[in-house]
Amino acid sequence: MITARVALVAALLVGLQLAGTAAEAQYADASDVAPALRPAVTAYRQGDMAAAEQALRAQRSPDAEAWLGAILIERGAAAEGLRLVQHAADSGSSEGLHRLALVYAQGEAGQPRNDQRAVELFTKAAELGNRRAQTNLGLLYLRGQGVPRDLVQARAWLEKAAAGDDPYALYALGRAMEESAPPAMADATRAVDLFRRAAEKGHPLAAVRYGMALAEGVGVRKDPPAGHRWLVRAQESGVPEAALALGDIAVRMPAQRDKAANEKALKLALAWYEVAAKGGVPSAQFKLANAYLGGVGVPRDAAQAQQWYNRAAQQGLDDAQQALGVMLVNGMAGTTDPVEGYKWLLLAERGGRPEATSAREKLTDKVSDRDRRRAEALAQAFQPIPEQRNESQPGLMAPRR
């Protein structure tokens, strides 16, 4: 029984992947802006656009222009909004420079995306002390977006931004401290401390990483109960990746001689995977599909497995693409579709799954040249459709923040 459970657990753990979903920085008290702007900015951040716009129009300063321009761009008045942001930037406002940088970094207000221009503007705003610009500039260096990737520069700017204890900057710096690119080496202990500080200030993604560190004892003394509490807090805050982590913790629990205890651990893991899968996490969708396909902790159900493989495959997960391709080619859920199956195997092969190559080659005599060309065209046109924001690095701060 223990050996069988270990094998089933191994199947569930295939494809582990924790998203680096970005959360917005939190300045609920608008402490990052001049006192005169705080009522308007607070109203803006609380969603009261009308009150914010009215208050900002009553002020005459470049920073007020920048904030007003951001509001107008957000509600669709792009031309007027861009004009105000540009004027604020030309006047030397760090907020104007920061807002204009965001326009180019995100391709907003009818402007084409221009990463190099964004870096130039973020740098000017950051040098004037704008902490949100410092964070975004650090992130661009961390990604190598619009500038050569430079972990030293990334950390330097993120250190400046985090000096004010903003949870987003703390989280972003923590992510940078996890990276290693000589001469800058990873520092797990520092990263965990930064995640802790950000989590204590309400950053849910930091809570996920801090919870995982505690559960695994990476960079901090191992404390599984505390890690579990932080992960539950993050999951309740709307971060489905936390449910994925909770599922992995449950499935990795040491196998017991007690059959009921093993079954309970598997059911707990699957319950968490289902929460994460419904939240759009592709790795959780893949693991849930594995469970249905193998009848692990749930009744065997090939149709359910195919449904979850399909959702993960549509998001670009190559493990799921390979599994879905095999299911469609063999009709394991009751319906055979060699064209779709061939397409998914092609995509999995391009994603680095060598097993997909052999599976596809076995179809040579079963798929006509016409169908193969159709499958190749479909694979060529395929674009992943994420169900949630999912980036390997934290994203740029949204304009509101």
* pLDDT score for 283: 95
Residue 184 — φ and ψ, nearest 5°?
-85, 125
- Is 8 a residue whose pLDDT tops 60? no
Q: Where are the domains of the chain?
A: 22-179, 301-384
Helices (H) and strands (E) in the chain, counts: 21, 0
The model's confidence at residue 23, banded by pLDDT at 50, 70 and 90, is very low
Rounded Cα gap, residues 177 and 190, in angstroms? 7
- Share the mean pLDDT of the chain: 88
The arithmetic mean of pLDDT across residues 214-233, rounded, is 96
pTM metric for this prediction: 0.82
Closest CA to 295 of 323, 263, 334: 263
- Is 320 a residue whose pLDDT tops 80? yes
Rounded Cα gap, residues 141 and 138, in angstroms? 5
Query: Among the listed ranges 42-46, 134-138, 195-199, which one has the minimum average pLDDT value?
Result: 42-46
pLDDT digits (tens, 9 = 90+) for 76-100: 999 999 999 999 999 999 999 999 9
* pLDDT score for 364: 73
CATH of 22-179, one of 1.25.40.10, 3.90.550.10, 1.10.3720.10, 1.10.3470.10: 1.25.40.10
The amino acid that residue 210 corresponds to is Y
Residue 181 — φ and ψ, nearest 5°?
-155, 100
Tokens, residue 334: 């009751």
> For residues 144 and 121, is the Cβ–Cβ distance under 8 A?
no
> For residues 73 and 108, is the Cβ–Cβ distance under 8 A?
yes
* pLDDT score for 200: 96
pLDDT digits (tens, 9 = 90+) for 353-397: 888 888 888 877 778 889 989 999 999 999 999 997 644 457 666
